[in-house]
Amino acid sequence: MASQFSLLILILFLFNLASIHVTGDQIMLEDGYMVTTVLDGHKLNINPHAVQLRSSDIVVLDSSHSVFYTLPFPISQASVMVKRLSGEGKTGYIDGEPGLARFNKPKSFAVDLRGNVYVADQQNHAVRKISNSGVTSTIVGNYSQTGRQDGPGKTATFSSDFEVLFVPQICALLISDHGNQLLRQIDLKPEDCVIGSQSALGAVKFWVLGLALSCLLGIVMGIATRPYVIPHTGRLQTPSFQQDMEALPNQSGESSTDELLRRQKRNC
């Protein structure tokens, strides 16, 4: 009996060993990749939890301190210029200027084409918006109530566990509401999905308007000057001085045309 038990233990050991060997063979390490540290949070008292790229900088979320920072892109390891985008550094729920706004340890955010930051402030049950200048506002959600109600931003409710994703193709935010087991959508304003600044957009509009006016002016001038343009008949016109010479009489009192006709009759 003891020998059979020992044999069973040996078989199980060999089976586990074979399984470990097979698993090890399935690991494939690909060469050519290098890891470097570009920001040491210990030196700056920053705990990076999430990061998103904007047009000219990087937004870093320090969830433990409820603060958003920006770093210039590309990142220079020699000198990292870290700026506070929004967040006082204390938990709470306050909208307003960068140094006054408070969040409640958010863990997810998204960035639109204009550089606005949308924060999934789970513990406050709201989606907050940080403008390019750092001013924070609330677009949807209810601080004092959780739920799954759809509708306008003032009445919509969320659970305390959700994430946010910006989708430029439909100009909207997709919300994975884990607590309610829902996938939800927040339609954004059209100006939030426009690439570039308003000044650049205005310059393009002015250029298009100028081009249209130039074309219209050209058409009007063409119509106005058309009666004064000699039409092309498809054949050569006899110069006026040649016609005048033919009309002059010769020494016998005949014109050049009459003399030509008389010679033709004589030849016949």
Whether residue 208 lies inside any domain: the answer is: no
Whether residue 177 lies inside any domain: the answer is: yes
Q: What is the pLDDT along the chain (268 residues), one digit of tens a residue?
A: 556 656 666 666 666 655 544 445 688 989 999 998 888 899 889 999 999 999 889 999 999 999 999 999 888 777 778 999 999 999 999 999 999 999 999 999 999 999 999 999 999 999 999 999 999 999 999 888 899 999 999 899 999 999 999 999 999 999 999 999 999 999 999 988 887 544 444 444 555 566 677 767 778 776 776 666 555 544 545 555 455 545 555 555 555 556 656 666 566 5
Q: For the chain, how many structural domains are there in total?
A: 1
Q: Is 236 helix (H, G, I), strand (E, B) or coil?
A: coil
Whole-model pTM?
Answer: 0.65
Whether residue 46 lies inside any domain: the answer is: yes
- Kindly give the residue spans of alpha helices, DSSP state H, lying in the chain: 2-25, 41-44, 198-225, 240-247, 256-267
Whether residue 54 lies inside any domain: the answer is: yes
Q: Is the separation of the CB atoms in 107 and 122 below 8 Å?
A: yes
Whether residue 217 lies inside any domain: the answer is: no
Whether residue 247 lies inside any domain: the answer is: no
Whether residue 184 lies inside any domain: the answer is: yes
What is the residue range of 165's domain? Answer: 41-193
Q: Which CATH number covers residue 138?
A: 2.120.10.30
Whether residue 167 lies inside any domain: the answer is: yes
Q: How far is CA 108 from the centre of its chain?
A: 20
